[in-house]
Structure 1
């Protein structure tokens, strides 16, 4: 093997080792992520189902259905 090929192989192996070391989340990170996603979903549901936002969404849908080209 030439020196350039060896250097390239070493670089690829080094890069692969670095990505394997911390490639994913641990269980506690999954748990925090799930709790955060659930909290965001509840917040979004509350906002969308509030009176003012619901009325605005209904108006948007009505305007879209009544639109003429």
Structure 2
């Protein structure tokens, strides 16, 4: 860590703008970030949910269109129709 002088938060108002954020300013900015809403997260959550739903739909489609499922459903429908006739 570079050799920096001890900076107090009350000194930040007199600090020139070319100097990087001092400790007090950094603490205030971090507190402001923590106090704000996470409005941007909803977009990411919707995107992840949409991708998960599409992946689940693709897996379900592959399972339902598999030969054993189609054969089973066909036998079930034929059996039900035979019972009704």
Q: Where do 4+ consecutive residues of structure 1 move more than 6 Å?
A: none
Q: Which structure has more helix as a fraction of its residues?
A: 1
Unaligned runs of 5+ in 1: 1-20
Give TM-score, length-normalised by structure 1.
0.59
Aligned residues: 47
**How far does residue 39 in structure 1 lie from its aligned partner after superposition?**
0.5
* Cα separation, 2, equivalents of 1:61 and 1:68: 11
Picking from 49, 53, 63, the partner of 1:47 is: 63
With a CA cutoff of 8 Å and minimum separation of 6, indicate the structure with the bigger relative contact order.
Answer: 2
* Root-mean-square deviation (Å): 2.3
- TM-score normalised to the size of structure 2? 0.48
**Partner SS, residue 70 of structure 2:** helix
